[in-house]
Structure 1
């Protein structure tokens, strides 16, 4: 009921009362006062009912607002996770490329994705396939053998990249009694036993540098994954990861 309707009802009541008691001013004054009180009471009643309905609507809308916010948050998280997987698939494909630049980009993106809070430990552990598929497989003895080959290639380059690097001197040191045996060490003639190219000419030297570059990147990825998954990392792998990258051979 709006104000106009209430006013019309009040006017009709007043007109009826005037017709019944036109000769008694005192009575009419009393009735008019009652009519005003009744109008005020009606207004108050309508106001109370309106406020109560408004509160009920607000209370009913609160769960909807909370649900909408929750659904929006879930949608955003789902979209973000989908984007994470899209980038991960691209990066994994890039690490399978024979192009050194693509490999570098791919393994770099995997390192960034591994630090994301979007993925859980199981999803991040899928990136282990990259360093496990490397030439050294991040084994200490294999890393030392690779660095010995790089040292020989760098000597032929007369000051090539990484000459004198402390990490190389440490990683390529002779094995101690505590180190696992390395096939072909200590004067062995089995230089091809690990499948690495020998630095006999320029093409082989370039291949040694390219292989070392990939192994350094794989070591960096392993260090990142070990940190994210709370795993131990070999000091040899850490030293390899800290080495300077050889330039990409064009």
Structure 2
């Protein structure tokens, strides 16, 4: 995605924001979401053959660049690997537990073992040592495979929603389920409180789209800075 395409993504996100709570626009909202979402994962996730923002990130990237921590960027010092893992964990939790009341892909697909790390939470409020450890040891091919599986599951979930569902509030027992799963660190309990105040539309407009867009853009800036060194 070039800069013009990213600007168009932002414009489309504004349109999605304007129509997502209108039941008579439900089909259009779902289709627009699927288009926006497909641009935030690799082309392999949706099989649409579209060059995506993630494709732009991984083009000509090497493992050292993915793992480097800390990085010299104005808005983050976290590794690209951390950013990819963080947005995928957030998407997995919010879509599969808070919206679909189901198991996380992380556990259902044994990704807790395949990723070869000891962290199952969202990544918020991690210490420097924890981020360095994750950046050094996460299995990179497994990380990209996990992203694909989470992305495909998200599309199934959103495609199954009915008109009016976007207005539904996040249910308290689902927040409690994430708490029981230690989905966020104790220091990041504010995140569960934040999600508890959202409806399904709010989760679609942030964790499943805007949140990923922001972190991929950060990661692309990190990549460019490293490559210039």
Instruction: Please give the TM-score of this superposition, normalised by the length of structure 2.
Output: 0.31
Structure showing greater Rg: 1
